[in-house]
Amino acid sequence: MLVKCNIGCRQNGGMTDASLDVRTDSAICNDCGDDLIDISSYTKASMKMVGDIVRRKNRKAFTFSCEECGEMVEVSMVGAEIVGAECDKENYNCKFSITSNMINAIKIVKGEEQIEDDSE
């Protein structure tokens, strides 16, 4: 959405394209990356409604949605269980809906199980 950038920003004559960061509910300048301070809640709602939002692409491998907290969490193996890397270490109250093939891949990549090599 075309908005006015912060005072002092002279890129594009002060006008810029901005997107909404839904996590922080702030408008971000797509040119200079600054958090725009003079954006109304109506403009932010419009950005959200039309889908002009910041899309995060830097997800780590083996990141799944936890059914308990709803957050995207990187998983690891503890014994034979899949747990969230940032979850409560004492209780492991995380629940994931992961296929058995993905569980095997996690075991292999995280080093819990070695692949047997039949090439000898």
Considering the domain architecture, whether residues 46 and 7 belong to the same structural domain is answered as yes
The dihedrals phi and psi of 91, each to the nearest 5 degrees, come to -105, -25
Q: Is residue 19 part of a domain?
A: yes
Q: Look at 8 and 19; give whichever has higher pLDDT.
A: 19
Q: Is residue 56 part of a domain?
A: no
* Domain count along the chain: 2
Are 86 and 74 within 8 A, CB to CB?
yes
Range of the domain at 43: 2-50
Task: Tell me the per-residue pLDDT of 31-42, one tens digit each, with 9 for 90 and over.
Answer: 778 888 888 999
**Model confidence at 9: pLDDT above 80:** no
Tokens of 85: 């890397």
- What residue type is 11 in one-letter code? Q
Q: Is residue 72 part of a domain?
A: yes
Considering the domain architecture, whether residues 71 and 44 belong to the same structural domain is answered as no
**Model confidence at 97: pLDDT above 80:** yes
DSSP 41-94: HHHHHHHHHHT-BPPP--PPTTEEE-TTT--EEEEEEETTEEEETTS-TTT---
Neighbours of 15 (CB within 10 A): 13
Q: Is residue 16 part of a domain?
A: yes
Considering the domain architecture, whether residues 6 and 30 belong to the same structural domain is answered as yes
Q: Is residue 11 part of a domain?
A: yes
Are 57 and 50 within 8 A, CB to CB?
no
Considering the domain architecture, whether residues 45 and 67 belong to the same structural domain is answered as no
